[in-house]
Structure 1
Amino acid sequence: MTILSETSPCILCGESGRTAPALRGILRRCTSCGFTWTAPSDDPTPDTELYDEDYFRDGAYRDYFAEHAQRRYEAARRLRWVQTLLRPRSVLEAGPAAGFFLEAARAAGITVDGVEPAAVCVRFAREHLNLPIRQGCFETSPPPSAPVDAVCAFHVLEHVADPHQFLTAAHRALRPGGALAVEVPNIASAAAARQGGAWHALQPAFHRWHFSPPSLTRLVEGHGFRVEHCDTVSVSYYLRPRYWISPRGGWMLVKEWAGAGNPRKPHPRRFDLLRLLATRRERDRW
């Protein structure tokens, strides 16, 4: 995984050479604007080797493909969130993984499309969910034949090589007034501040960029979008209700409530997952 060197310009403010180590050298922080990214590795893993089957079965996930009920619950919650801004007739998802969100959107009568780099996910989506997912990277793939109503990217932007290129592609894919829906880990969460390098969502082997509500808002607005809503939710916000009656679920509920507040409700900044909804502006107005 290739990332910024210590002398590269900050992708958020453009300042060069104004960085400092953070989290015992795991991250670099721009001393001008505060944006953070993963520190360069002496032996980076090529991107083509990062997101193989092991990543989805025993790497970042316990077994992504086996947890169908949980994935569908997450997908339904995310679709309802997107629909608080608009009722899209067409959706393009960047990095849909196995395609559960697109499955939920299709069931709601929405025309769906997706671009996914991991071959194992593309195969699953096509064979098991019958979804029209293309293999490739969203930001370098051809745009859709017609502008779409919504572009969605859930836990994708922190992985991409160039967030500017990604957001430019999203703007190009959307109709005027169309929606961009993004979700990423929140480096400014209460748990991240408390746990430091042990924070579960840090994942420096996979996550290049580490966003806070202000930095994500600034980045998105710099690419022709108007941010309509930005908040945070807990990881447990996406867990099925039956989880809460288990001993593990009850203990998680107590810990999250004590650390950041009611985990079943969004919060402007405290929780681990950062969500943003924005609308596409006309290019001559930004």
Structure 2
Amino acid sequence: MPAASRGALIAALRPDYQAELAGGTDRFFLPRAAGCPWCRSDRRPRQRLRTRDWVQGKPGAFVLDQCRDCGHTFQNPRLSEEGLDFYYRDFYDGLGAESTAKMFEAGGSQKRFRRSARALREHAAPGRWLDVGTAHAHFCAAARRLLPDTEFHGLDQGESVEHAVKEGRITRAYRGRLTELADELADRYDVLSMFHYLEHTPDPGAELAAAHTALRPGGHLLIEVPNPESPFSRLLGRRWMPWFQPQHLHFVPLGNLRVELERLGFTVVAASVRGDQHIPVDLVCATWFWLNPLLPAEDQPWLPRPPGRAARVARGALALAALPLILLAYGLDLLLAPLVRRTRFSNAYRVIARRG
């Protein structure tokens, strides 16, 4: 987006953002949970970390707690529906749509999508595949090259899924929540995928149950999510990219997910933190999250006023000066990726389960 057009859009959005923020951010949160939303333990959870919105820079403080019994990590207090709407806005659509699309269209993302499709292909030759949380369905477009006989459908809450049909990435779109549409989709799909989707949902257990309903007997569920047990989550602390606050609400340890899938009637056929699902961004993102607050602020509609010309020039000059450090961190991510993928340091894990 040209700078002038972006500036005009920010100016147009600013009054609405300022009106929403006039009363503070407390109203965007539900009451604090006293126990664990995963195992229902009533023991008081321990605080794992307190952080901020490192990506968009929207105001607010976010706390991740960890269950003392099952190890589940969750946002506490959790965002309400109003809060989710506020913090998602202008990330996948609107102001941030172009940059988000470029991220998914990048070569690294396309390679990751193809690796995920190959992993599933080892267990099934699907006729009909539903990708949940598909957004613009970039995964489906990449996977179709490996599975030309598979019919890909997408489900998402945003309008992006409807654009994906018009752009030919999927043949059918469902707009809404899987938990609301599961009965309509019952026994319809050979494969259902959730790529970095489950951590965004208010109730991951309900999503898994809905996936079981939508799959045919013998169908496969493919899940990729952040690995909260990665040592990088402790080493990098609140600047570890997969925490991705405030959008990520739940972080399910691999063991917990296996148990829940088996309880629902799935048979886990593949599950590991060691694999090609790792996304090599840990060091470069942590470096940027450390540097960015030191720079003059970039203009955003949730800021009370636009930065002056001097601040804009200073930001550009300082960001340019920091570029070698950012490139070094990115190079280290890529260099270490083959090793990380063979260890517990992987920032994501993959599970493939068959409906019983």
Q: Deviations for 1:145-171, whole angstroms, at most 9, x for unmatched residues?
A: 652111100000001111121111100
Contact 2:191 2:221 in 1 (8 A): yes
Q: Given the superposition, is the C-alpha separation of residues 133 and 3 from structure 1 closer, same or farther in structure 2, using an over 3 Å criterion?
A: farther
TM-score by length of 1: 0.80
Residue 85 of structure 2 aligns with which residue? 48
AA paired with 1:66? K
Structure 2 length normalisation: TM-score? 0.66
Look up the match of 1:191.
232
Between the aligned partners of 1:177 and 1:193, the Cα distance in structure 2 is 38
Report if the CA contact (8 A) 1:187-1:272 is conserved.
yes
The percent of aligned pairs where both chains have the same amino acid is 25
Name stretches of at least 5 consecutive residues in structure 2 with no aligned partner.
1-27, 51-61, 282-326
Which residue in 1 is equivalent to 2:124?
86
* Corresponding residue of 2:331: 250
Deviation track 1:61-94 (CA, whole Å, cap 9, x = no partner) reads: 9822124243433321211111122221211111
Whole-angstrom distance in 1 between the partners of 2:168 and 2:86: 25
Partner of 2:278: 234
Structure 1 gaps, min length 5:
238-245, 282-286
Structure 1 residue 112 and structure 2 residue 152: aligned?
yes
Q: What is the rounded CA distance, in whole Å, between the counterparts of 2:342 and 2:95 in structure 1?
A: 29
1:60-209 matches, cutoff 5 A: 63-67=99-103, 68-70=105-107, 71-107=109-145, 108=147, 109-119=149-159, 121-131=160-170, 132-142=172-182, 143-144=184-185, 146-209=187-250
**CA contact 2:199–2:248 (8 Å) conserved in 1:** yes
- Could you say what the CA RMSD is over the residues aligned between the two structures, in angstroms? 2.9
Residue pair 2:78, 2:249 contacting (<8 A) in 1 also: no
Tell me the residue number matched to 1:16: 42
**Residue 278 (str. 1) matches residue 315 (str. 2):** no
| Structure 1 residues 174-213: Cα deviation after superposition (integer angstroms, max 9, x where no partner) | 1112111001111111211211111111023011101222
Secondary structure, aligned partner of 1:235: coil
Look up the match of 1:241. Answer: none
C-alpha distance in 2, partners of 1:248/1:227? 36
In the comparison of the two structures, how many residue pairs are matched?
A: 264
Q: Report the CA distance shift for 1:212/1:3 in structure 2 as closer, same or farther (over 3 A).
A: farther
Whether contact under 8 Å (1:3, 1:208) holds in the other structure is no
Matching residue's letter, 1:235: I
Mapping for residues 209-228 of structure 1, pairs under 5 Å: 209-228=250-269
Alpha-carbon distance change, 57 to 152 in structure 1, aligned in 2, over 3 angstroms = same
Look up the equivalent residue of 1:276 and give its one-letter code: V
SS of equivalent to 1:181: strand
Q: Is the contact between residue 57 and residue 64 of structure 1 (CA under 8 Å) also seen in structure 2? A: no
Q: Secondary structure at the match of 2:154?
A: strand
Q: Secondary structure at the match of 2:199?
A: coil
Between 90-99 and 38-47, report the one with greater CA deviation: 38-47
Equivalent pair of 1:12/1:219 in contact (CA under 8 Å): no
